[in-house]
Amino acid sequence: MDTLEARAALEQFAQHYDYDNGYIVQLLEDSPAAYQAFAAAQAMPNIHQVLPVEAFFVAKIAVMKTEDCGPCLNLSLKMGAEQGLERELLKKAVADPQSLPQQLRDIHDHAVAVIRNENDDADRMERIRNHYGMEAFAELAVVIVGCRIYPTLKRAMGMANHCELAKLDF
């Protein structure tokens, strides 16, 4: 994809989701090679071939909230709603994750623990593996890692100068 095509795709994405992806556009303008490296990693936060969509979005929401990236959190909420997830489930994932069903609460708590660099909870990880399977657990790990690239890039580019609260009106 050349620079003009990439810019057009970024603009279309930003308009569709009402999302300020200026930090990614800036990366593209500053260094097309750096943008291509970043773009190659963008599949990571979107993998969920085996991991159910509910668990996938609970993990994404947990990461974005913990990373304190309000715009990314709101984007995840919009995308979850677009994928047909119940808005109440999405709201619980943000505002009251302890009220989630146990399997989803485990997903949430695991993602938060990873982001905060907390000690592993072997029992929780075993429950996740037993409930979702090893392949889904591997996908979960990649989703958690992959979601971090957006707020981290935004901060690294010096463009995370404002925070935004979660908008529960998606």
Per-residue pLDDT tens over the stretch 108-141: 999 999 999 999 899 999 999 999 999 999 999 9
157 in any annotated domain = no
pTM of the model: 0.91
| 69 has pLDDT over 80 | no
18 and 53 share one domain: no
What is the reported pLDDT for 77?
95
55 and 108 share one domain: yes
| 153 has pLDDT over 60 | yes
What is the reported pLDDT for 164?
63
- The answer to whether the CB of 129 falls within 8 A of the CB of 137 is yes
Domain count, the chain: 2
What is the reported pLDDT for 42?
92
pLDDT > 70 in the chain, percent: 94
What is the reported pLDDT for 13?
96
Range(s) of the domain holding residue 55: 45-151
CB atoms within 10 A of CB 153: 18
What is the reported pLDDT for 163?
58
Residue 13: in which H helix or E strand, if any? helix 3-17
Mean confidence (pLDDT) of the chain: 93
What is the reported pLDDT for 70?
85
89 and 36 share one domain: no
115 and 133 share one domain: yes
Instruction: Enter the tokens of residue 104.
Output: 């989803």
* DSSP letters spanning 49-103: SSS-HHHHHHHHHHHHHHTT-HHHHHHHHHHHHHTT--HHHHHHHHH-GGGS-HH
66 and 15 share one domain: no
94 in any annotated domain = yes
81 in any annotated domain = yes
Q: What is the pLDDT of residues 51-68, one digit of tens each?
A: 999 999 999 999 999 987
56 and 117 share one domain: yes
146 and 64 share one domain: yes
3-state SS, residue 12: helix
100 and 60 share one domain: yes
Mark residue 84 as left, alpha or beta (left: phi above 0; alpha: psi -120 to 50; beta: remaining).
left
Look at 5-9, 50-54, 82-86, 157-161 and tell me which has the smallest mean pLDDT.
157-161
What is the reported pLDDT for 68?
79
116 in any annotated domain = yes
70 and 113 share one domain: yes
